[in-house]
Structure 1
Amino acid sequence: MTLTKLENDALSLAVAPLGAEMQYLRTAAGDDLLWHGDSVFWRGRAPILFPIVGRAVNDTVAAGYHTAPMPQHGFARNSTFTLEEHTDTMCIHILTDTAASRAVYPFEFALRVSHRLVGETLHASATVSNEGPEPMPFGFGFHPAFCWPLPHAGGAAHHVTLQGGGSPDTRALADGLLRPDAQKGPFVAGDLEVAEHLFAYGALVFPDGSDALRYGPKNGPSLSFKFQNLPDLALWRPVGAPFLCIEPWHGTASYVGDGPQIAQRPNALTLAPGARASFGYQVTYEA
């Protein structure tokens, strides 16, 4: 597997063709910021979620009369992308429909994923284009996992702090599906201390998340995030794992008891023929 490598004076990054997935994100000093994918906990590092986010009821989706099995988070993360453009600090990978993809998702599409380094900031973005003659429903999300604790953070408690101090409601998961009733979320005035017990039943899902947040100790190294067109947020950390997934999404898992139609999934999008939609996040490392 040939990695596409980017580097500037502050960061280095590698992206694999499989899933257009980041393989490492490092500081100039060589410290890893991204989880390294040890399968003891989770072999993923930063998968791209398309054309659904989360699970479907009975792992089955439908588009009109077309019904097919669909794994959790869709098929893009297990698909091989083509490198379309590459400079020292930027790369773009593209995935387009194939006969195999149309058998489960009957649409002509193009998914371009871009990674770019600017100083201490990683810019990740994606554009989904409807290349066919029919309206195209889908969901999209990023699923990056960052080290917990961060390098040189010592034993300090790590926090996720939402810009604006919000305390969004959450939805409980039942076998990977969302329960429809809202519950009071664990943020207090926008602050959440990362702790083992929070994830005992899986990810924390916030259908109304935040446009920006900070992750790290109150005083010390941190990662600051900004999100574009990604209104849903999930946090996930398997018990004992040395990472925290900070996942901005447009769309979520189906609710318990939902039908299979992709267009009716929570916060799904539908693109008209020839239309496109873009999504992105920036993460800045502060030592």
Structure 2
Amino acid sequence: MITLENEELLVEISPHGAELQKIYSKKDEIDYLWSGDETYWGRHAPILFPIIGRLNEDKYKKGDEIYELSQHGFARDKTFEVEGTSDETAIFTLQQDDDTLDHYPYEFKLTVTYTLIGKLLSVDFKVENQSEERMPFSIGGHPAFNVPLNGEGNYEDYTISISPKHEAQYFESDPVPFRSGSKRILEAMKDGILPLNHETFRNGLIIIDEPKVDMVTLAGPENKHGVTLNVGEFPYFCLWTKEQGDAPFICIEPFFGLPDIAGEIGQLEDKGGIILLEEGEERQLGFTMEMF
């Protein structure tokens, strides 16, 4: 386990999946990050690569070949190399191996860098195409936060707000977790604020199609404690909690990629929200989480 620490926060990261395990406020004695209780959901904040969401039949085409690739890709289940650490920075890398090449026939290097600055934690991704051809990929974060925080209030006392404030469109899910191809206005969000309620998520994840959104904030009673994500580099973000069981967490997920529209197996390079990297190119993206 890798630990980052300053006067404000203690952060733990596992090399398995380069996944955050804990974000703890030392002064307020608050665990912000979901515990990973398998009663509800056994993960904390997985990294999604090289796809986001589900493929039809968990398969895609590359030319005339068909490959299998499970939901959200394989990075979350691979052990990363620890390239460097300090009190406030940790760098992890993942490259192709025989297993990944069986499912994703590209040579790549994924670098994930965590940096702690006061009450802010930045998560930075760099994807390098080391193949001798164009490489399609998606990438995103999937952090889950405790609701309520530190036992303050109930689930329904919390809100999600977006900045700048405006109506938000989301992709209709049909069947979950696929897209139907249609979009709707998120009626439950008024003036950029969505009151949390488990009923809102009974029909599955809510992927907001709003590249104009810069900040997404989870706030508790009287806005005393919460977390603000800067997601401006990502064209979509997803809100999700378990559809059943009234789970005590909410995920706020910056996405650069989308689940398939339900239907036939397609080419990966045609997948919604896909990024295409030419041979030798790289792409950097990141988001931040600031605790309050």
What's the offset of the Cα at 1:274?
0.9
Instruction: State which of 206, 223, 230 in structure 2 corresponds to 1:219.
Output: 223
Residues 127 and 258 (structure 1 numbering): CA distance in 2 closer, same or farther, change over 3 Å? farther
Q: Aligned with 1:14: secondary structure?
A: strand
Equivalent runs, 1:32-51 vs 2, <5 Å: 32-51=31-50
- Are 1:64 and 2:63 counterparts? yes
Label 1:164 to 1:258 Cα distance change in 2 as closer, same or farther (>3 A). Answer: farther
> Which residue matches 1:147?
146
Q: Decide whether the 8 Å contact of 2:53 with 2:259 is kept in 1.
A: yes
Query: How do residues 205-244 of structure 1 correspond to structure 2 at under 5 angstroms?
Result: 205-208=207-210, 210-217=213-220, 218-238=222-242, 239=244, 240-244=246-250
Compute the displacement of 1:262 (Å): 1.3
Q: Does 1:133 align with 2:136?
A: no
Q: Is the 8 A contact 2:57 2:265 kept in 1?
A: no
Separation in 2, partners of 1:158, 1:23:
23
Q: With the length of structure 2 as denominator, give the TM-score of the two structures.
A: 0.94
Q: Which runs of 4+ in 1 moved over 4 A?
A: none
Question: Could you tell me which residue of structure 2 aligns to residue 123 of structure 1?
Answer: 122
Counterpart CA distance in 2 for 1:8 and 1:63 is 46
Between the aligned partners of 2:277 and 2:178, the Cα distance in structure 1 is 25
| Paired residues of 2:52 and 2:71 also in contact (CA < 8 A) | yes
User: What amino acid is the match of 2:177?
Assistant: G
Distance 1:13 1:67 in 2: 40
Letter of the 1:201 partner, please give it. N
DSSP-derived class of the 2:223 partner: coil
Distance in 2, Cα, partners of 1:242 & 1:109:
36
CA contact (8 A) 2:30 2:149 kept: no
Task: Give the counterpart of 2:199 among 190, 197, 211.
Answer: 197
Q: Structure 1: how far apart are the matches of 2:65 and 2:209?
A: 28
Instruction: Please name the residue that 2:172 is paired with.
Output: 172
| One-letter amino acid of the structure 2 residue matched with residue 226 of structure 1 | N
Question: Which has the larger displacement, 50-59 or 155-164?
Answer: 155-164
Check the 8 A contact 2:164/2:214 in 1, yes or no: no
- Alignment counterpart, residue 26 of structure 1, candidates 24, 27, 50: 24
Q: Percent identity?
A: 29
The code of the aligned residue for 1:134 comes to E
Asked if 1 retains the 8 angstrom alpha-carbon contact of 2:5 and 2:87, the reply is yes
CA distance in 2, matches of 1:219, 1:152: 14
Aligned-partner Cα distance in 1 for 2:41–2:238? 16
**Corresponding pairs, count:** 284
The Cα offsets for residues 213-267 of structure 1, whole Å up to 9 and x where unpaired, read as 2111343112111124211111001141111000010011011125321111111
RMSD over aligned CA atoms reads 1.4
Give 3-state SS (helix, strand or coil) of 1:103's partner.
helix
Q: Which runs of 5+ in 2 are unaligned?
A: none
Note the residue ranges of structure 1 that are not aligned, 5 or more in a row: none
In the alignment, the residues of structure 2 paired with residue 219 and residue 207 of structure 1 have an alpha-carbon distance, to the nearest angstrom, of 26
For residues 153-189 of structure 1, give each alpha carbon's deviation from its aligned partner in whole angstroms, at most 9, with x where no partner exists: 3347111110011222112221311110111213222
What is residue 260 of structure 2 aligned with on the other side? 254
**2:75 corresponds to which residue?**
76
Deviation at 1:83, TM superposition (A): 0.2
Name the aligned partner's letter for residue 249 of structure 1.
F
Check the 8 A contact 1:171/1:206 in 2, yes or no. yes
TM-score (norm 1): 0.95
